[in-house]
Structure formats: C-alpha cells, structure tokens
Structure 1
Amino acid sequence: MRENTKQIIQRIGETDQLYLQGNTPKLALERAELRMQLVTLSIVRQEQLHFLQEAVVLLEQGRIEFEEMPLSLYMNLSMHLAKAYMLYFEITKEQRFALITQQILKPLIHDQYGDIYFFLAYASAAKSEMALTRHWLTKYSKTADFDLILVQEHPAFHPFREHDWFVHLVKSKAH
C-alpha cells in the first residue's frame, strides 16, 4: 500500500471520529473528498464504487442536514457531488449519472462559479448533447474559471473538436 493511501485512510479514521463528536458541512466535505481520493487511487472497480457511494451519501447529507451554511460551502459540496456522479459515469458509462449531475447543478447556475458551466458541459457531452455542450462551454468560456487546456484535452470534448463552433471557441480564448 502506498504511503499516500495510508495517510488518506488514517485521515478517514480521524474524520470519522470527529463525526461522532458532531457533524459540520466542512467535515462532511472533507470526509467525502478523502473517499474520492481513494476512488482515483484504486484500480478495483468494486472499491471505487464503494468509496463513491460513501462520498455521495456524505455530500448529500452535508447539503441537506444543516439549515445554515455559507453559500460558498454549499456550492463546494454541490460541485463535489457533481464530480462524484461524473466519476460514477466514468467508471460505469451509465448516462443516468450525467443526468443526475445536470439536475444537481442547473438550479445553481451562477457566473461566479464557472466550474458549474464546465461540469454541465461535461455532463452534456457525456450524453452526446451537442447543442447543450456548446451552450455550456460558451458560458464557461466567459468566466474567470475558464481553463483552455482542460477544455482542449478533456476526453469528453474530443467528439466536438472538429466542429466549427469548438474550433472558434478555442481560438477566441487562445488569443
């Protein structure tokens, strides 16, 4: 077992003990992030799905359990939840996880959080929805969070690379 994996597992134990003393949205986020790190480190599909299930439960619980929390923390919990569902999609190739991502993020659309547009574009691309992919990528390109290299290299957008709108979007941001 790698040293990094051991540290993550140790921290999971510590945060689970903190949870027994009382949960907070920040703690829920950290506990979920740790499990998502294990998903990316694992090469065993069943382990990945198990850690993702745990992460989703923690994130959902963190989003609804508390009446008051800063908007930025709620958005962070929501973005991590979207990432978890897109990891589910990557592992299973089931489009329903892209749909769930869209359902989580659409009510939260706000220009301050450009990553929402990226994940909506990603989910739309996963569902082969070209018009929506274009729409969300265009919105994403107008935010401060826009990452040209990420858009160019992300495998979800490869089917669109030859389309005029994609080429134009990339060229307009490259200059």
Structure 2
Amino acid sequence: MSFTYTHRYIALAFSFVVLLNFEPISANDIVSRTCETSAARDPNVRLDFCLRSLAAAPGSDTADLYELGAISIRLIGRNATSTQRYIERLLKNEKKKSSSDSYIRPRLSDCEELYSDAVETVGEAAAEYGRKRYDEVNVKLSSVMDAVTTCEDGFKEMESRVSPLTKRNGDVFELAAIALCILDLRP
C-alpha cells in the first residue's frame, strides 16, 4: 500500500512543479510573437517600437491576431491624424514669422496635403479590413507608406535643411509596415 501512496505523492509533487512552470498563452504573447516575427521578416520594423506601440494600444491585451491587425490600422490613423494637425500648427507658425523661410512652407504644405490624403486612405483601409478585403488593405497601407516617404523626401532636396517631421514620418511608416506584416501573418 505504501507503494501506491508513494506514487501518488510523486505524481502530486510533479504536477505541482509543472503548474509552477506553466505559463498560459496570453494576448500579450500574441503581441510579442507578432512583433518578433514582424521584426525578423521586415527590416522596417524594429522589435522595441512594435512591442511598445502594440502593447500600449487599448484592447491589445485581449486581442487575437485579427483584432491586432485592426488595432495596428487604428494606430496608423491616430498617428497620421496627429501628424496632420502638427503640420497645420507648423504652417500657422510659419505664416506668423515675418522672415518666413521660403523653403519650409511649401514642403509643409505638400506634407499637409499628403497627410490629409493618408488619413482618408487609412480610414478606407480600416473599412476594407473589416470586410476582409486584404489585398485592398495592402494597397492602401502601401500608399500611406509612399505618402510619408514623399513628405520626408521633400525636405531632403536641400542638404542643409532638416525635416521637422522625420520622427513622425518614421513612426507612421513603421506602423504601416507592422500592419502589413500582420496581414501577412493571417491564416
């Protein structure tokens, strides 16, 4: 009889050790795995940026891969809208300056127009994502990436000038790259 009890105690102890080491798969694991895979596949995606962006987004802690795709598109929209408003403020400040830089204003105007279109395009991409028309989403998000690249390139025409939008353009570009990676990960 003691043999049976010994086996039970060993089995119980083993079960307890297994339970202590068991880590359930959570939605944050989906964020981690998605970001790790995206960063490995796309040189435009930095792991730390992806993790910070997606983990901080509302709903990401309970999201599945499909929902994470929708969240990533919303992040692009928020960042593009914020950048468009920032450009509008920069343009207002440029108009107030008496010795306004004739180099900056036209480029900001171009970027404002590009971002206006990008915000609309991201909205269309979100709608197409909801309809599961992923090829259309891909085209629209790629055009957003082109728009922010065009905006940034406009400031590179003169070597001595620095774009006031480099970080914002980079963030929108990278968020779009993340969303495209998520599209590629879907089953």
TM-score range, shorter chain: 0.3 to 0.5
- The structure that has the greater radius of gyration is 2
Q: Which has the higher contact order (CA 8 A, sep 6+)?
A: 2
**TM-score normalized by the length of structure 2:** 0.34
